Amino acid sequence: MDDSGPKTERGPLTDYDVVIIGAGPAGLSAGIYARRAGMSCIILEKGVPGGQVLTSPKIENYPGFPEIEGMKLMDVMAEHARMYVDIREGEEVTRLVRSGERFEFTTTNGRYSSRAVILATGSFHRKLDVEGEERLSGRGVSYCATCDGFFFKKKKVVVVGGGNTALTDALYLHSMGCEVSIAHRRDAFRADRHLQDSVADRSIAILWDTVVEEIVGENEVTAVKLRNVKTGAVDTKPVSGVFVAVGEVPSSQLAAELGVRMDPGGFVTVDMSFRTNVPNVYAAGDVAGGIRQIVAAVHGGAAAALSAFEDLAKPYYSRSGG
């Protein structure tokens, strides 16, 4: 009988040096570097390789590719990674525990064991949940100003939010030559004072006490319906882009189960080498916060894998708790 596939939940554990959870840019990069370092490794991905990049219609800031669709870029990355490491698609980790010096994983298809784990589980954008948002995503609705701002030069856009990300996005878009407005549901920003001062210095329009009711357009965004929460007045504002910056939600549940330290927003806390406070647990990509760019995720995945190799070859933890 061929038993080369995943074991059943009641069967024995399949052992690896490193198990990587998530097959976005960070996870794929980690897989390549882990295998090239000589470690046995597997990538577990609950969906398909690519992560949030799959939803990007066009990418122009990844070195080596002046212009490429997000899906195509991730196809190239996944094909490269498969030259080195097995990627198990559609296999979600449902349970992760530490057992002595090893980690044990239960997935929807099998059970695994490893000496180290790299969390590359990503994050997802908090959405407005208004009419038109889903349909026009990638067609004027964006969740990443640094990814898509270039396409809106000299055009009218609205940034939705009032935190650091929203104001940073507004400043970035303004520097790109966009005509920017900020819609914020409250009458004061939560962002740092220096960002508020920069917005004021550039005379960026602010729509206080305002929420988005609907994003308008057939094949692309043409306008946004806004409602003042105090007066109830509804206004339709012509825009070409809506940049949603109301927060990111990290996929850090598995990290929490291992006792990994996280910041108040739920993002995993790592050091410069992408180590967490838990020995032999590493995190890279969006789940670790920081700059949410493909190139940064690739760097993090590679660094996490090399840290794992170093630690498994010569354990670095002589202190408890990290």
So which residues are the catalytic ones? 144, 147-148
Q: Where does residue 18 rank: exposed (0-12), middle (13-18), buried (19+ CB within 10 A)? A: buried
Cβ-contact 181, 158 below 8 angstroms: yes
Query: What type of residue is 271?
Result: D
Cβ-contact 124, 248 below 8 angstroms: yes
Please, where are the H alpha helices in 188-313? 193-201, 253-257, 294-313
Q: Are strands 156-160 and 93-99 parallel, antiparallel or unpaired?
A: unpaired
CB count within 10 Å of CB 296 equals 17
Q: Exposure pattern of 88-110 as b/e (b: 16+ CB <10 Å)? A: beebebeebebeeebbbbbbebb
